[in-house]
Amino acid sequence: MSQFDQSSEACAVWQKLSRQANRDYALQDMQKAQALYEDAMAKAVALLNHFQEKGLPLSAPSVFVVSCHNLADLFFTQEEPEKAVLFLRRACTELVRLASQPGLPLQARLACVEQLRPAVVALMERESGTLPEQPETRMLVDRARTVALSVYQIAGYAVQTRLEDAPVAGRPS
């Protein structure tokens, strides 16, 4: 079986587990939902490990973030904000770590950076509503911004800042 087939199969299994967990969560069977979300997280971690080695599938960062957020939501529902925030931080930390790896293909690094904004926003919103501000969260957010800017600059997405690149405002008189 090819690497692509293995990762496609892992994505399909992850999706099936996540859907089952979502159904159980909606039915408020939290014990069953948690077990399925944890199984889905194990698949997401396996996909992320493969992604780290091969740069594919590009959906791996998104899958990982969704798994982290699913478990965080479950723990917030169960009034365990400390556990929930750990999963939100984990999503951000892994994305920053992977996006920082120069050996990872640029498209893979960009896939990580694209997931950083929603991951950071979720962390900041959920943490601020339930826990006192944590210095490690502030440092993680700052690191995420730095890494995102760096990857975008490498990719050529940076806004041109030289004066000669500024658009002409109008015709000279």
Domains and CATH numbers, the chain: 3-154 (1.25.40)
Q: How far apart are CA 129 and CA 26, in angstroms?
A: 23
DSSP 59: T
Contact present, 33 and 74 (Cβ < 8 Å): yes
Q: How far apart are CA 45 and CA 2, in angstroms?
A: 19
- Rg of the chain's alpha carbons, rounded to an integer? 19
Cα–Cα nearest to 14, from 44, 35, 55: 44
Measured CA to CA in angstroms, residue 170 lies from 10, 64, 164, 167, 173 at distances of: 56, 48, 15, 9, 9
Is the bond into 57 cis (omega within 30 degrees of 0)?
A: yes
Helix, strand, or coil (residue 105) = coil
pLDDT digits (tens, 9 = 90+) for 45-92: 999 999 999 999 999 999 999 999 999 999 999 999 999 999 999 999
Residue 165 has pLDDT above 90, yes or no: no
pLDDT digits (tens, 9 = 90+) for 24-41: 999 999 999 999 999 999
Whole-prediction pTM: 0.84
